[in-house]
A and B are shown apart, each in its own frame.
Chain A
Amino acid sequence: MIAEAGLAALWLAAALSLLQLVLMIAELRGVVAAARTIRAVAVVQGVLALTAMAMLLIVFARTDLSVALVAANSHAAKPFVYKLAGAWGNHEGSMLLWVTVLALSGALLALFSRRLQQRTLIAALGAQGALALGFYAFLLVASNPFARLDPPPPQGRGLNPLLQDPGLAFHPPTLYLGYVGLSVAFSLAVGALLTGEVGATLARAMRPWVLAAWIFLTLGITAGSYWAYYELGWGGWWFWDPVENASLMPWLAATALLHSVHVLAARGALRAWTMMLAVIAFSMSMVGTFLVRSGILTSVHSFAVDPSRGTFLLALLGIYVGAAFLLFALRTAALKEGPPFELVSRESGLVANNLLLSVILGVVFVGTLYPLLAEAVSGNKLSVGAPYFNAVAGPLALLLAALVAVGPLLAWRRERRPVAKRLALPALVAAAALVISLFAAPQIGLLPRLGLVVAAWLAPASLLPLVGRNPLRAPLATWGMVVAHFGIAVALVGMAADSAFTRETLAAARPGDKLSVGPWLVELRGLAPVAGPNWTAVEAELRASRGDGVLVMKPQTRFFSDPPTETNEAAIDTLWNGQLYTVLGKPDEAGRWQVRLWWKPFVTLIWLGGALIALGGLLSLVGRAWRGWRKARLT
C-alpha cells in the first residue's frame, strides 16, 4: 500500500509540474491571470514529492522486501540508520531524492520570492516545472523506485559495507541540496531572459539561492573528501575521480556565479554574463548527474545500470541545456548594458575571478569528459587522472588564490588609492615563507611550495577588509567574505603540507615488531577478533610513541556477510599538528600482517578550510537576510 501511495504521489506531482508549465505559457501570453494558481501548484507539487520520498523511507525502515529496490539494497539485519540512509544509497532512491529537492526548491521559490517582479517569478516557476517534469518522467519510465517483486525474496541483498557509514546519511543529501538548489538560479535566469527583466532586483532574488546551494555544495564536497579519506583507507583526500569532478564542476561554476551575481546586485553590471553563468552552473549539475547516474563511468563510484537510463538522461540534458542556450542567444542582445567600470576596479577583479574559475572549470570538464569522447570516437580506452589535473588546474588555482588577496581591496567602478601599499605586509609574510621553506625543506616539490607561499600571502591579506575600521561594526556579509577567503588559505596550507611532508611506511609485521613513520615509533602489540552488529573483524593493537606521548590505535579488517565483503577500517588519530593514519592489511603464510602507516602533518587543515569557506557563505547569507528583513520592517 505504502509503495503504491508513493507512486501515486509521484504521478500526481508530475501532472502538476506539467500544469505549472502550461500555466506559465498561458500567463505570459496573457490568456489567463494565473499568478496565485501557479504558486499554489508549485507548493503542492513540492509537498507531493516530499510525500513520495517519505513513503520510500518508510518501506526501507520496515525492510519491505516485496519492493524490488529494498530487496536489492537492504537487509533485515542492518542497523536502522543505514536502513534509512540506504533509501538513497542506490540509483532509484537517489534520483527520487534529487527530484524531491528540485520540487521543494520550486515550492520555496513560490513561497518566499515576494520582491521579484511577478512576471519573472511566474516564468521561473514555469521553467522549474519543466525541469521537474523531465525528471519525474525519468523516474516513472526508467527508474521506478516503488516497483514490486512477486513473490518477495526471503532476504535482501544488503548494502555495500563501504556505504554503511555515517557519511552516507549526510553526504548525498547535502550534495544534492547544493546540486539541485542551483536549479532555482537556472530557472530565474531562464525566467528573466523570457521577460527581459534582467537587473539588480533579479540578482538580489537569485543571490540567496546561489549562496545557499553553494554552501551545501562546499559542505558536501568537504564531507565527501573526508569520508573518502578515512573510509577507503588509501590515505588520499582527493582522487580526481570523475564522480568527484562531477561535484567539483558545479561548485566552480557556482563560485563564479556567486561573485558575478554580487556585481549584478550591487552595480547592475555583468547582466548577460551572470545569466550565462546561472545557466552553466545548473547545466554542470545535470552533467554531473548524467555522469554519475548513467553508469557511463568506471570509477570507485560507478553504478551498474542499463544504458537506456543513460540515453534518457542524456536526452534530458540536451533538451534543457540546449533550450537555455538558445534562449540566451536569442535574448542576450536585447539586454540593456550595465554601467561602465574601469580596468582597475572591483568589477574587473571579479571578472578576473570569473575568467580564472571558468578556465579551471573548462580544464576539469575537458579532462573528465575526454576519456568518454576518445573512446566513443576512436575506440581507445584511456584514463585521465591526478597527473593531468594537478599539473594543469593546480597552477591556475594558485593564481586565483593569489588574486583573491587583491580583489576585495579594490573599490567599485574605479580604484584611485594605492592598493599595493596595503599589501606590503602580506607580501613580506609570503617572502618570509618562501625563504623559510627553501631552508627548512629544500626538497619539496614546486607546487606544494608555491601553495605554502600563496597561503602565507593570502592569509594576512584576506583580513585586510576588516582593518582600518571597527571590525565589530563591519557588515556580517563582509565578515563572511573574510572568513571564506581566509578558509582558502587554511585549506591551501593543509593541501600543500599533506603533499610535501607526508611520511609513509608499509611493512609486514609480527606482534612485537616496531616500525617508524616520520617522528613516530609504532609497535604492533597484538591482534584480536572483534564483532559488530553485522560484521566480524580482526583488530590490531598499535602503540604509537613520539617523545613521551603514547597513542593506542586499533585499525581493523572487517568481514561483512550480507553481501560477503571485506573492508579496511583505518584508525586515525588527530593531533594538533597532523594525523597518524594506520591501516591493517592481510596476513601472510609466515604469520606476519601487512601494516600501512602515514604521518600527515596538518592534513586536517584541508577540511577545516573547507568548513571555514562554508561558514563564510553562511555568515554572508544570514547577514544579507537579516538586513533585508530589517529593511522590510522599516519601510
Chain B
Amino acid sequence: MKPKNQRLALVAAAALAVLAAVLLAMLGLKDRAAYFYTPADIAAGKAADGKAMRLGGMVETGSLRRDPDGVTVRFLVSDGQARTPVTYRGIVPDLFREGSGVVAEGRLDRGTFVADTILAKHDERYMPPQLGNQAAEHQAGTTLAR
C-alpha cells in the first residue's frame, strides 16, 4: 500500500470501529437497560412482565414476612400511591428494614416483583446515629423524586 492509502485505510478503520462500537452498544442497550419504576408506575401498567428492571420505594411497615424455608422474604414496596409485592431469596443487606427506602433489581412476574438483588447503600460518609433514620428517609425521598 502507498503511504497515502495506508493513512486513509487506518482512518477508515478507526471510523468503522467507532461506528461499530456505537451500533453494538445501542443494539445491546435496546433490550438490556433496566428502567427504574415505582409502584405507581407498575400499577399504571407501564412495566412489562419478565423484563429486567429496578423497583424503588419504601418497605411498608408490618408487611415483612419470611417463608418457612428461612431464606425467602416477602414484603410490600410502596410509594404512597400504590404498593407492589416483592419476593427475594437471599440474605438482605443490613440497612434493609421496614419503613426505610429500598431499591430492588429483578423482574415482574404476574404482578409480583421477583428480586435478584436488594441494593444496600454502602456509603463512607455516615450520619450520626440519631440522624440516621431521617437520612435514610431523605435518601429514599430523593431517589423517588429523581
Query: Which A residues fall within an 8 A CB radius of B?
Result: 72-73, 89-90, 157-160, 162-163, 233, 270, 273, 298, 300-304, 337-343, 351, 355, 358-363, 365-367, 370-371, 374-375, 380-385, 387-388, 391-392, 396, 506-508, 563-568, 583, 585-586, 588, 590, 592, 594, 596
Residue of A nearest to B70 (CB): A508
- Residues of B near A361 (CB, < 8 A) are 21
Known: A383-B33, A566-B94. A303 touches B123 (CB 8 A): yes
Known: A163-B124, A355-B17, A384-B32. A506 touches B129 (CB 8 A): no
Please encode chain B, from 115 to 140, with 1 for each CB lying within 8 Å of some chain A CB and 0 for all others: 00000101111101100100000000
- Residues of B near A360 (CB, < 8 A) are 21
- Residues of B near A382 (CB, < 8 A) are 33-36, 54
A303 x B29 contact (CB < 8 A): no
> Is B74 among interface residues, defined by CB-CB distance under 8 A?
no
- Residues of A near B105 (CB, < 8 A) are 383, 385
Known: A160-B122, A359-B24, A366-B29. A568 touches B91 (CB 8 A): yes
Known: A384-B34, A388-B33, A588-B70. A362 touches B94 (CB 8 A): no
A383 x B34 contact (CB < 8 A): yes
Known: A358-B14, A382-B36, A384-B33. A340 touches B71 (CB 8 A): no
B1 x A342 contact (CB < 8 A): yes
B71 x A508 contact (CB < 8 A): yes
Query: Which B residues fall within an 8 A CB radius of A?
Result: 1-4, 6-7, 10, 13-14, 16-18, 20-22, 24-29, 32-36, 52, 54, 66, 69-71, 89-92, 94, 105, 120, 122-126, 128-129, 132, 143, 146
B21 x A366 contact (CB < 8 A): yes
- Residues of B near A358 (CB, < 8 A) are 14, 17-18, 21
Docked complex Cα distance between A565 and B120 (Å): 12
B28 x A391 contact (CB < 8 A): yes
- Residues of B near A375 (CB, < 8 A) are 146
Residue of A nearest to B120 (CB): A300
- Residues of B near A303 (CB, < 8 A) are 123-125
A380 x B21 contact (CB < 8 A): no
Docked complex Cα distance between A564 and B18 (Å): 48
21 contacts between A and B (CB under 8 A): A89-B124, A160-B123, A160-B126, A298-B143, A300-B120, A302-B123, A304-B123, A337-B6, A340-B1, A362-B21, A365-B21, A366-B21, A366-B22, A367-B29, A370-B29, A382-B54, A383-B36, A506-B71, A507-B70, A586-B92, A588-B66
Docked complex Cα distance between A469 and B126 (Å): 60
Nearest Cβ on chain A to B56's Cβ, whole angstroms:
8
- Residues of A near B129 (CB, < 8 A) are 563-564
Nearest Cβ on chain B to A65's Cβ, whole angstroms:
14
A90 x B124 contact (CB < 8 A): yes
Known: A89-B124, A362-B18. 13 other contacts (CB 8 A): A303-B123, A340-B1, A359-B20, A363-B28, A366-B25, A374-B33, A380-B36, A381-B36, A381-B146, A506-B90, A506-B91, A588-B66, A590-B70
Nearest Cβ on chain B to A297's Cβ, whole angstroms:
12
Docked complex Cα distance between A298 and B101 (Å): 14
- Residues of A near B128 (CB, < 8 A) are 157
Nearest Cβ on chain B to A569's Cβ, whole angstroms:
13
Q: Which one of B4, B35, B94 contacts A567 once the chains associate, using CB atoms below 8 Å?
A: B94
A583 x B91 contact (CB < 8 A): yes
B124 x A160 contact (CB < 8 A): yes
Docked complex Cα distance between A592 and B67 (Å): 13
- Residues of A near B91 (CB, < 8 A) are 233, 506, 568, 583, 585-586, 594, 596
Nearest Cβ on chain A to B121's Cβ, whole angstroms:
8
- Residues of A near B66 (CB, < 8 A) are 588
- Residues of A near B32 (CB, < 8 A) are 384, 387-388, 391
Q: Which one of A73, A367, A568, A586 contacts B25 once the chains associate, using CB atoms below 8 Å?
A: A367
A507 x B29 contact (CB < 8 A): no
- Residues of A near B7 (CB, < 8 A) are 337
Docked complex Cα distance between A594 and B73 (Å): 12
A385 x B34 contact (CB < 8 A): yes
A340 x B3 contact (CB < 8 A): yes
Residue of B nearest to A375 (CB): B146
Nearest Cβ on chain B to A278's Cβ, whole angstroms:
15
Nearest Cβ on chain A to B6's Cβ, whole angstroms:
5
B21 x A594 contact (CB < 8 A): no
- Residues of B near A384 (CB, < 8 A) are 29, 32-34
List 10 tightest A-B contacts by C-beta distance, closest first.
Answer: A508-B70, A362-B21, A381-B36, A563-B126, A585-B91, A366-B25, A392-B28, A388-B32, A566-B94, A337-B3
Docked complex Cα distance between A596 and B92 (Å): 12
- Residues of B near A392 (CB, < 8 A) are 24-25, 27-28
B124 x A340 contact (CB < 8 A): no
Nearest Cβ on chain A to B92's Cβ, whole angstroms:
7
Docked complex Cα distance between A163 and B120 (Å): 15
Nearest Cβ on chain A to B37's Cβ, whole angstroms:
9
- Residues of B near A351 (CB, < 8 A) are 10, 13
A380 x B35 contact (CB < 8 A): yes
- Residues of B near A592 (CB, < 8 A) are 70
A159 x B71 contact (CB < 8 A): no
A340 x B13 contact (CB < 8 A): no
Q: Which one of A72, A341, A568, A586 contacts B125 once the chains associate, using CB atoms below 8 Å?
A: A72
- Residues of B near A507 (CB, < 8 A) are 69-71
- Residues of B near A298 (CB, < 8 A) are 143
Q: Which one of A90, A302, A363 contacts B21 once the chains associate, using CB atoms below 8 Å?
A: A363
Docked complex Cα distance between A260 and B85 (Å): 54
Docked complex Cα distance between A596 and B70 (Å): 12
Nearest Cβ on chain B to A578's Cβ, whole angstroms:
22
Docked complex Cα distance between A586 and B92 (Å): 8
Nearest Cβ on chain B to A516's Cβ, whole angstroms:
15
- Residues of B near A374 (CB, < 8 A) are 33
B25 x A362 contact (CB < 8 A): yes
Docked complex Cα distance between A567 and B25 (Å): 36
Known: A160-B123, A565-B94. A388 touches B28 (CB 8 A): yes
Q: Which one of B17, B52, B120 contacts A362 once the chains associate, using CB atoms below 8 Å?
A: B17
Docked complex Cα distance between A568 and B94 (Å): 9
- Residues of A near B71 (CB, < 8 A) are 506-508, 585, 594
Docked complex Cα distance between A116 and B89 (Å): 61
Docked complex Cα distance between A381 and B54 (Å): 9
With most chain A CB atoms within 10 A of its CB, the pick from B70, B94, B120 is: B70
With most chain B CB atoms within 10 A of its CB, the pick from A233, A270, A507, A563 is: A563
Docked complex Cα distance between A303 and B35 (Å): 22
Residue of A nearest to B54 (CB): A383
A157 x B126 contact (CB < 8 A): yes
B22 x A362 contact (CB < 8 A): yes
Residue of B nearest to A360 (CB): B21
Nearest Cβ on chain B to A359's Cβ, whole angstroms:
4
- Residues of B near A588 (CB, < 8 A) are 66, 70
